[in-house]
């Protein structure tokens, strides 16, 4: 396997851990804390880094999995921007819409992750 793909895959697994800690904490406590923002930000950084590694190592940039992955990355980017904006407003509890968006963006990201795992196992 291409070393860039291997590195990207490993980094994306770390992103899964960071995203999971941040999102699950937000979902259970219904609070946007510095802890939540830190872990989702770390997840986004690892996700972006892993995606760049995979793009470098891939033979094709535009694939079905790539489109799913890019959209999931954009979804999490939008989520972190919304969460930071919410935190800046100094409100305590996120709106139902923001709380739901965080969950949907994360679940879409997990779909992209699982599809990538399935593709890797098929090769």
CATH of the domain at 43: 1.20.120
pLDDT tens, per residue, the chain with 123 residues: 789 999 999 999 999 999 999 999 999 999 999 999 999 999 999 999 999 999 999 888 788 888 999 999 999 999 999 999 999 998 878 999 999 999 999 999 999 999 999 987 887
> What's 111's DSSP letter?
H
Residue 34: other Cβ atoms inside 10 A: 8
End-to-end CA distance of the chain: 9
pLDDT of residue 21: 98
* Residue 111 token pair: 């779909």
pLDDT of residue 16: 98
Q: Give me the domain span that covers residue 93.
A: 3-122
pLDDT of residue 63: 85
The count of structural domains within the chain is 1
Question: What length is written for the chain?
Answer: 123
């Amino acid at each position: 396997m291409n070393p860039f793909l291997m590195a990207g895959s490993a980094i994306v697994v770390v992103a899964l851990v960071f995203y999971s800690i941040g999102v699950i904490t937000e979902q259970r406590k219904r609070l946007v804390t510095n802890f939540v923002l830190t872990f989702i930000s770390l997840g986004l950084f690892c996700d972006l880094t892993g995606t760049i590694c995979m793009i470098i190592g891939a033979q094709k940039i535009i694939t079905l999995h790539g489109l799913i992955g890019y959209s999931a990355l954009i979804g999490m980017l939008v989520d972190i921007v919304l969460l930071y904006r919410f935190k800046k407003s100094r409100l305590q509890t996120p709106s139902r819409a923001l709380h739901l968006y965080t969950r949907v963006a994360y679940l879409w990201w997990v779909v992209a992750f699982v599809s990538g795992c399935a593709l890797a196992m098929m090769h």
